[in-house]
Chain A
Amino acid sequence: MDHRTESNTITQQDKDAVSSYVVDKNGVKVRMPYQMIKLVEFDDIDPKELIDIPHSARLQYRLLLMDAVIRCKVEFVKRKIIVIYNHPEAKNYKDKISQQQLIEFLAKEGVHVKLDKMTERDFDYFKEHYTYAFEPEVIRESVPYGYTKEEWQKMKVQTEAKKKEEHDKKVKELEERWGEGKSAHKDDDKPHDAPQEKPGGFVGMIKDAFGKLRSINN
């Protein structure tokens, strides 16, 4: 359902869906648009249909144009297409697409997938996409300019500990500066009122009148 084209009435179910929050490992409550969605992998694609890497990239772009496709990868060399999509049974009110629609779309793009080479599984958006993106693994290690790897290994622990110590000290100083009792900061965590220029004279009078009318109507 596209909330822009369907009825504007939002049901309690929709609110529950859109308000689905997840608490991450640090106890932070975050809004999660998707939870359990699907990952489908089409293997053994005919390379003539993918044509080459640039055409595969463009196919990837065209797949990504669909709101229901969250991520995808068209791998020319491996002759594989991986699509993470919001399937019709998913518990949210975002745009949806079925596996069949995906296959038809690919066919229109000139790529005819083999159903026996297709695998699909559930994809946990929070764990596999979101959490990974926020906590990516380290794939290599760089060394500061002018130092050898061995030198860096010796100084690394000390350097990082020193940086952490400096950071903690800064945070402590900041908290003291912003601490309670300082009148300038007592309302920092509350929503602020950022007024715009209020027009005076006739314009201001009309605006106030309309504002009052709106609140009466509501």
Chain B
Amino acid sequence: MPNNPERNMGNGAVQETTYDENLTTNINNKRPEVKEVAGNADAQNPILAVYHRSLEELEKMPVIERTKTVCPECKLIIDGTIYKDGDNVMIRKTCEKDGMFVEKYWEDYDMYIRMRDFNYFGRGLDNPNVLLKGENCPFDCGICQRHKTHTGLANVVITNRCHLSCWYCFFYAKEGEPIYEPTVEELEKMFISLKNVKPIPANAMQITGGEPTMHPNVVEIVKRCKKAGFDQIQLNTTGINLGANPDLAVKLREAGVTTLYMSYDGVSKRANPKNHWETPKALDAARKAHIGVVLVPTVIRTINDHELGAMINFGLNNLDVVKAVNFQPVSLVGRMPPRLREKQRITIPGAIKLIEEQTNGVIAKEDWKSVPYSGGITKFIEALSGDFGYDLSIHFACGAGSYLYKDNDGKITPITRFLDVDSFVETLQGAIEEMQGKPRWQRKIIAAKALLKLPKYIDKKNQPKSVNFASMLTSVLLKHDFESMGVFHTRSMFVGMMHFQDEWTYDIKRVEKCDIHYAMPDGQVLPFCTFNVFPEVYRDKIQKQYSIPAKEWGETHANWSYASDKLHRDIKALESDPAYIRTYGQMVDYFALPVNGGKHVANFARPTDKAVVPPIVAVAKSVNATAPAVVRTVAQKEDSCGCGGHEAKQESKDSCGCGSGKGGCGCGNQAEAAGDSCGCGKGGCGC
């Protein structure tokens, strides 16, 4: 803790203390010189060494760009320098009072430079909710006219009640806190407000919480959202209630939910104490209801970063219902010791590199493209249609993605291996420039010529055996026959990355381009990285205004208590459920197949000393029969509910803890040590 800081105590009181300038006021400012001495393990650890540079070394690092950021301690807007440190891109900022902060911005310099090419400004909002110029950004939000990007994904929190108590989450109502649960009519107003945004209203909505299925009127809420005009409705959920009540999943599907945005922090119990046991039933419920599932792991180094490949493999094993795995490197909000923050920090390239290692190079870092990469395509469609198209003009450092195709023999191929995406995008961009100033009929001819060039960008040698991509595109574009595309879609899975900011990595240039917006009950609209990074002035403040005190809630809701909302889990019953045994016990390790490298994903199966490892079962029919048997069943008995990750065992006491808490999940005693550190915002990302 900094010595003698001036602290705003809230409610108008400021603790004034003396300030000794001779002392370092922030322990981050202690920069020991890097010496080759035994015991200085952190400074020599390639992952942590970037945090332990001397001031002289830092000043010599090449500067990439300058930006504006905030001091994590006092929230002063200060200059930030984005610089290169070896293979890392770092951000450095110095507060006049709180000292210097250094944090990882992007863990791959080459990828940063490559993705930076696709970065453009969108149109912003023609009717901002607050008429402010935004010179005090990010404290002028609501959303102001300075914002550069329209709403790409709208988020609405429908309740702050949750049946879990995840140690890193700040979204759920804790004991004594008021209940935030707007009525159906109030929520409908928010939906309509989002659809009235000009020039490009949101078309995708994520209904979140808390746990949204705790809201008793969630089905009606979805229907109102659909009626307001949202084509895509996601439900951000743990999946637990849907697994227990599949009929609810059917009703939600019929009401309009198209995707379950489901938290899933790992395949093993240790990595995912949140919903490891209920996930099989949740997937079955999604199958019954024909809802696609997006698995959303929050990635934390030393906790679950060893299971990234395993999670992708899990998704591939459930490809009939899992449409995407969207990794979210952790956003570290709240107070935490710097050393812990350094160890747990992971950025998009860090996760991408781990995925490459853990999938035998099948999903290489070159296969990932940044989100604004597709900007050219949307402009192309807009110039043809005459209607405003979705403008994916978010900052390139915010997200990345790739598509995987699973062939009949189990081979996993990223789409970039057989489709020259770069040339395709270049062709479209050329066409866009050519279309400028031309009349409509001429634009259509230019567009047709560009589209007809598509087949030449397909590498027929490397394309999956079970798909003729050129023929599929021709059917879609010329005959408007989408059946073959549907077949392609059922065998493909999107893998994505979305990294939300926190106070250490905050870059105001990124915030003003954010396209994930929260609608608030007072009419304001807030980007994700203001809503969640400064909850004390946005999320918590506004929700508290519109909340109902717990006592009154209890009076109007019979038999309600905080405890009654919480999940009680019978692990033994869940582990003996046929869905559980089938889902975890009969997984194929696709990356162990010879066509995919022949090496198991990390932590595919971890038998313990106590467990009896069941015999290897023959390979499923759909997989090449000549391949070695790779199906293993996961050990039946493992310690339930622990810290995620084998490495985390050592770290568990002084790091994030998920001890053997109440209800089999949630904060045990170790959460005391963790305090309220380590956060990852919900809604838009899953916790």
Contact = CB atoms under 8 A, between A and B. Distances in A.
A102 B199 CA distance: 39
A199 B573 contact: yes
Interface of B: 8, 10-12, 14, 16, 74-78, 123, 126-132, 135-137, 139-140, 142, 145, 163, 176, 178, 182-183, 185-186, 188-189, 193, 196, 198-199, 213-214, 216-220, 223, 226-227, 229, 240-241, 243-245, 248, 250-251, 254-256, 278, 379, 382-383, 386-389, 432, 435-437, 443, 521-524, 534, 536-537, 541, 544-546, 548-549, 551-552, 559, 561, 567-570, 573-574
A194 B213 contact: yes
A53 B136 contact: yes
> Ordered nearest first, which 9 A-B pairs have the shortest CB separation?
A133-B523, A191-B216, A146-B383, A57-B136, A54-B77, A199-B570, A134-B523, A64-B537, A105-B12
A130 B213 contact: no
B546 A66 contact: no
A93 to B, nearest CB: 9
Contacts of A171: 227
Contacts of A97: 11-12
Interface stretch (A38-46, A113-121, A181-189): A181-189
Nearest to A141: B126
A170 interface: yes
A48 interface: no
B128 A58 contact: no
Interface of A: 3-4, 8, 10, 15, 18, 24, 28-31, 33-34, 53-58, 60-62, 64-68, 70, 73-77, 94-95, 97, 101-102, 104-105, 108-109, 129-142, 144-148, 155, 159, 163, 167, 170-171, 174-175, 177-178, 184-185, 188-201, 203-204, 207, 214-215, 218
B75 A31 contact: no
Nearest to A105: B12
B241 A194 contact: yes
Given A29-B185, A139-B126, A155 B74 contact: no
B229 A159 contact: no
A151 B522 CA distance: 37
B227 A139 contact: no
A184 B254 contact: yes
Given A58-B74, A64-B541, A133-B129, A33 B227 contact: no
A139 B142 CA distance: 15
A145 B379 contact: yes
A18 B547 CA distance: 9
Main SS at interface, chain B: loop
Contact of A134 (B77, B193, B388): B193
B186 A66 contact: no
B567 A3 contact: no
A60 B139 contact: yes
B207 to A, nearest CB: 14
A105 B388 CA distance: 47
Contacts of B145: 139
Contacts of A170: 229
Given A3-B549, A30-B186, A65-B10, 17 more contacts: A18-B549, A18-B552, A28-B185, A29-B185, A33-B546, A58-B77, A64-B537, A129-B523, A142-B388, A147-B386, A159-B387, A175-B227, A192-B216, A193-B245, A194-B213, A196-B241, A199-B570
A101 B12 CA distance: 7
A62 B476 CA distance: 56
Nearest to B439: A151
A194 B217 contact: no
Nearest to B10: A65
A19 to B, nearest CB: 9
Contacts of B139: 57, 60-61, 64
B567 A196 contact: yes
A54 B132 contact: no
B523 A138 contact: no
Contacts of B436: 146
A184 B551 contact: no
A175 B255 CA distance: 10
A55 B523 contact: no
B136 A73 contact: yes
